[in-house]
Amino acid sequence: MKDVILGVALLFVSIGRSQFAGVTAVIAATILIFSVTLKIFISLMVEGGIPLSWWNGIYLALAFAMLWPSFFPWSRSANKPALFWMAMTFGLLTVLLGGLALLARL
């Protein structure tokens, strides 16, 4: 399901030049980064090692490719919206998954 949502978001970004294309790219890249960091965090807590796989590398390369135009060349005023949407997405995903983990323990 995650791959379908991110695929549609990537198509939206690459085909359409709307005002929401940049925000969509940042949110999709943040979800990719969050999924990889969540896998690494869970693996470190449970197994004690970092999972290295081709898919993690591909996901991080896609996220880097989507975020490159938003962050380089670096300008604090130009990068504020991208940083805001990354922080919002990362924070909401953390709260959502943390809440689900707490509910699962009950």
pLDDT per residue, tens digit, the chain (106 aa), is: 666 677 777 766 666 667 777 777 788 888 888 888 888 888 887 877 777 788 878 778 878 877 777 777 766 676 778 788 888 888 888 888 888 888 888 7
* 48 φ/ψ sector (left φ>0, alpha ψ -120 to 50, else beta): left
99 domain-assigned: no
67 domain-assigned: yes
64 domain-assigned: yes
63 domain-assigned: yes
Domain encompassing residue 63: 1-77
The total number of structural domains in the chain stands at: 1
4 domain-assigned: yes
Helix/strand/coil percent split, the chain, to 5? 85, 0, 15
Tell me the pTM.
0.67
41 domain-assigned: yes
105 domain-assigned: no
